[in-house]
Amino acid sequence: MASLKELKNRISSVKNTQKITRAMQMVAAAKLRKAQEAAENARPYAERIRGVIANLADSMGEGGGDAPKLLTGTGSDETVLLIVATADRGLCGGFNTNIVRRAREEIVAQERAGKSVKLYVIGKKGHDQLNRLYGDQIVKYISLKEERTLHAGIAKGIGEDVTSMFDAGEFDIAKLVFAKFRNVMEQDPVAQTIIPANASIDATEAGASAPDLGGAIYTYEPDEAGILEVLLPRSINTQIYSALLENQAGEMGSKMTAMDNATRNAGEMIDDLTLTFNRTRQAKITSELIEIISGAEAL
């Protein structure tokens, strides 16, 4: 049985830990509101740009013309690039593990289909987990730990890098794996294809209703292909930025929940240790009284 001093030190240690977890919970809660607003504000633009691309692709199909490779693909699907986005820090429950699990499911599915898989990893936690099993398949790793704020320039750099790899013929299909933020308790890991753009996607599925043209015929200046050449890279950058914002909100929500659970568990542990401390102290006092009484009777 632990001594009273050991129990007292343990109670003090757990109380200090509880203060830390409570502070981290409050910080995560404060950051969550801003991150959630940023993620929700980015969704309409990302959804609308997908709808515009779908309309342009439909118009281009009717009028003919040469579609950009980012829209139609290379004509092959042998090499798949998975862009796996996780957090750079831990202490956020199963947030990072769930994203990595979704990425591993995608890797297994693609390899079973006889395809080659390459990994483009964003975030230290995802890299640490994937490197153990798929280290030879990681073609690039980016850490955002040093970035104080998440801005569109980060996504633009990643998007341009991925587009350059596609133009160089390093892969045929690119999928973005991240956690879509639902609420504080729920973040859904998804694998979203960003290259080639899905020309057959319905605008309502993309979250934007198709415009009512009223029978009018639209002409584009420059032509559809010229617009898509500019719009498709921007769409890729936007989808990556939106995914990073979703991840940021999910990380803060998961961290807030994890720290709340840790604080509650610390409170329960303190209660149990305090009860054990009181019982041990009482037993020691009783033992000393028995020794004194026994000594007095012996005299």
Residues noted as catalytic:
92
**For 1, which DSSP code?**
-
For residue 195, the SS3 value is strand
Contact call for residues 117 and 80 (beta carbons, < 8 A) = yes
What value does the CA radius of gyration of the chain take, rounded to a whole number of Å? 28
Q: What is the rounded CA–CA span in Å between residue 90 and residue 179?
A: 15
CB-based contacts of 215: which residues, under 8 Å, 6+ apart? Answer: none
Type of residue found at 69:
K
Contact call for residues 289 and 127 (beta carbons, < 8 A) = no
The H or E element that residue 197 is part of is none
